[in-house]
Structure 1
Amino acid sequence: MSGVRLLAAATTPALRRAVFGGDDDDLDEGGLRAALGLCVPGGPDLGGRGDRWICAPSQAALQTARALGHDDPEVEAALADPRYGTWSGLGLGDVAGTDPEGLQSWLTDPAAAPHGGESLAAVRQRAGAWLDTQHDQRAVAIAHPVVVRAALTHALGLPDAAVWQLDVAPLSLIRLTHRTGRWHVSFPPVG
């Protein structure tokens, strides 16, 4: 049995402000403190010594890995934050004010990319294709919460639209195991 732990990167100022494409922000003070707090004895099971540590090519993912004691994780482009095209750097409220139809389309149709960037269906495709190559690995993968949602949607075989039904907060940890030819979500006990 193999397993992949999907860990959502800690918070950044852009994530707290709901800014599209703020993936190169550094962790904010609260995000850094929260990540460092996971390293306490009796904390969450973040994997064994033999597990590979992999992260998205973003400052938030890299800094989250480093805060957890992994200074040299593998960087994986398939785990990159979505490309938001013309919405990059804009807040959710800004987009709602300037492109309400486009925002509504993006929020209801995972294949929509009104910003000229990448659709959520495309994010699910690339994150899912990467996940499928990990079926015989033991790894911890750190990415933006929306990428974790996309990978989880793929792992469970849910329709693309289900990405909106999954809430993944920063530093959420999801354990997937692969057996009998498919992914399973594991909910370990607390403590």
Structure 2
Amino acid sequence: MTSRVTFVSPATSSSLRQARFDDGASIDAGAAAQAHAAAGTLPSPARVVISPTARCRETAAALGLRGAETARLSGLDVGRWRGLSLAEVGAAEPEEVDRWLADPASAPHGGESVEDLRVRVALWLAEAAEGRTLAVVEPEVVRAAVTHVLQMPAAAFWRLDVPPLTATTISGRSGRWNLRLGHPLGSAAAEPED
């Protein structure tokens, strides 16, 4: 049987608008309204999993989705940089930022590296149940999944943009995946039916 995982990126928050590393901020009222408007447009999944961040939980709720929080699908742990903007970190630690952006195995912030995130997401995918799964996750989880399933170099992680409230679907079996990228929620093309 084919496994189909649809990753839904969360609605925007003040942190995202200010280009800050996630600080636990809630989704914006306008973004919540967009998510509410998209509720019911995704095909019914067999299971729903949710990243344990505030904006993923709130986006799932606004979409009318109930599911289990899954730590393996947490966003990238940026350690001491949490809540800071990239500009702030770049001004205080320019060499560390350069190293972090150039080397997917580095974690100068004391959190996890991009490569660590890719491994974590790959392990989750290897254990993903057959049938349909809907996962409301941070954009970096979507990027990690896409670079993994397409066997792209880890450096490609930084070249993928994942807009808020879009669906990215992978489907396959036996570790062979196909990819359907970032369709806006609420569009008729959000995900094809089987």
Alignment partner, residue 168 of structure 2:
174
Find 2:147's aligned residue among 153, 175, 182: 153
1:181/1:103 Cα in 2 relative to 1: closer, same or farther (>3 Å)? closer
Alignment partner, residue 18 of structure 1:
19
Residue 180 of structure 1 deviates from its aligned partner by 5.6
Alignment partner, residue 79 of structure 1:
73
Q: Which runs of 4+ in 1 moved over 6 A?
A: none
Alignment partner, residue 29 of structure 2:
29
Residue 135 of structure 1 deviates from its aligned partner by 5.3
How far apart, in 2, do the equivalents of 1:158 and 1:67 lie? Answer: 33
Find 1:67's aligned residue among 37, 54, 62: 62
Alignment partner, residue 110 of structure 1:
104
Alignment partner, residue 47 of structure 1:
43
Unaligned runs of 5+ in 1: none
TM-score by length of 1: 0.88
Tell me the percent identity: 38
Q: Deviations over 1:16-70 (max 9, x none)?
A: 1111132x22111122122112137xx4xx222x421111011111111111112
Alignment partner, residue 56 of structure 1:
51
How far apart, in 2, do the equivalents of 1:186 and 1:88 lie? Answer: 31
Secondary structure of 1:63's aligned partner: helix
Q: Deviations over 1:97-127 (max 9, x none)?
A: 1111111111121111111111111111101
TM-score by length of 2: 0.87
Secondary structure of 1:10's aligned partner: coil
Residue 136 of structure 1 deviates from its aligned partner by 1.8
**RMSD of aligned Cα (Å):** 1.9
Q: Which amino acid aligns with 1:142?
A: V
Q: Which amino acid aligns with 2:43?
A: G
Alpha carbons 1:5, 1:174 under 8 Å: kept: yes
The count of corresponding residues between Structure 1 and Structure 2 is 184
Q: Which amino acid aligns with 2:99?
A: S
Secondary structure of 1:65's aligned partner: helix
Alignment partner, residue 9 of structure 1:
10
Alignment partner, residue 120 of structure 1:
114
Alignment partner, residue 89 of structure 1:
83
Find 1:143's aligned residue among 137, 148, 154: 137
Structure 2 residue 157 is the aligned partner of structure 1 residue 163: yes
Unaligned runs of 5+ in 2: none
